[in-house]
Structure 1
Amino acid sequence: MKKAKIYIPSKSAMQSGKGKSNKWLLEFNKSKTENDHLMNWVSSNDTQSQVKLFFSSKEEAIVYAKKNNINFEVIEPKKNKIIIKSYADNFLS
């Protein structure tokens, strides 16, 4: 049976804003890969591991996984704790 994980991907180092950070991703687990020592290529017989499906909500991704008999694990995003400080706080002793 297929296994997948559902999560919100983290932003890349090239992103500074939070645009497109609300999409949920269903990504299949990678299977064992094989190395071709002659050409130095990495290959796999599992094409499912290349599939990435984006959803606008976590519930949509879960419904899709259940409908297609996919075992899944939901990884909840970490909440960033925002500390509001003023510039003058840097000089307090």
Structure 2
Amino acid sequence: MPTARIFQRPKNAMQSGKYRTESWQLEFEPSEPKRPDPLTGWAGSGDTRDQVRLFFPTLVAAIAYCEREGFDHTVVPAPEKTLKLQSYADNFR
């Protein structure tokens, strides 16, 4: 039975906006390890579920999908959002 991981995407560190941070993402855990291709050296495996990413508007919808399809699932909690409050003058101390 495939195992799925459900999590919220973190905010992109390169941008100040919060685009796509409210949705929940479902990814499948790999069922076999990746191995290098003898010709090209690229890593790959026969597991095609590694390419699948599903997005859901809420955590409840993602869990309901897993239960309906019979997938084991693990919910990874979102990291705590902390604000680092400092003034511009603190950069020159």
Q: TM bucket by the smaller chain? A: 0.7 to 0.9
Q: 2:40 is paired with a residue of what secondary structure?
A: coil
Is 2:20 aligned against 1:8?
no
Separation in structure 2 between the aligned mates of residue 44 and residue 24 of structure 1, nearest angstrom: 26
Separation in structure 2 between the aligned mates of residue 56 and residue 77 of structure 1, nearest angstrom: 15
Q: Mind listing any 5+ residue stretches in structure 1 that lack a counterpart? A: none
Partner of 2:74: 73
Q: Which has the larger radius of gyration?
A: 1
Separation in structure 1 between the aligned mates of residue 85 and residue 42 of structure 2, nearest angstrom: 50
TM-score, normalization: structure 1? Answer: 0.80
Partner of 1:24: 24
TM-score, normalization: structure 2? Answer: 0.80
Deviation at 1:78, TM superposition (A): 2.2
Deviation at 1:10, TM superposition (A): 1.3
Q: 1:59 is paired with a residue of what secondary structure?
A: helix
Structure-2 change in CA distance of 1:36 and 1:80 (3 Å): same
* Number of aligned positions between the proteins: 87
* Identity within the alignment, %: 33
Equivalent pair of 2:9/2:20 in contact (CA under 8 Å): no
What letter matches 2:35 in structure 1? E
Counting only pairs closer than 5 Å after superposition, residues 40-79 of structure 1 correspond to structure 2 as 40-79=41-80
Q: Mind listing any 5+ residue stretches in structure 2 that lack a counterpart? A: none
Q: 1:16 is paired with a residue of what secondary structure?
A: coil
What letter matches 1:18 in structure 2? K
For residues 1-54 of structure 1, the C-alpha deviation after alignment (integer angstroms, 9 at most, x for no partner) is 101110001122322112221000000112311211222122211101110000
What letter matches 1:66 in structure 2? E
Let me know the Cα RMSD of the aligned residues.
Answer: 1.9
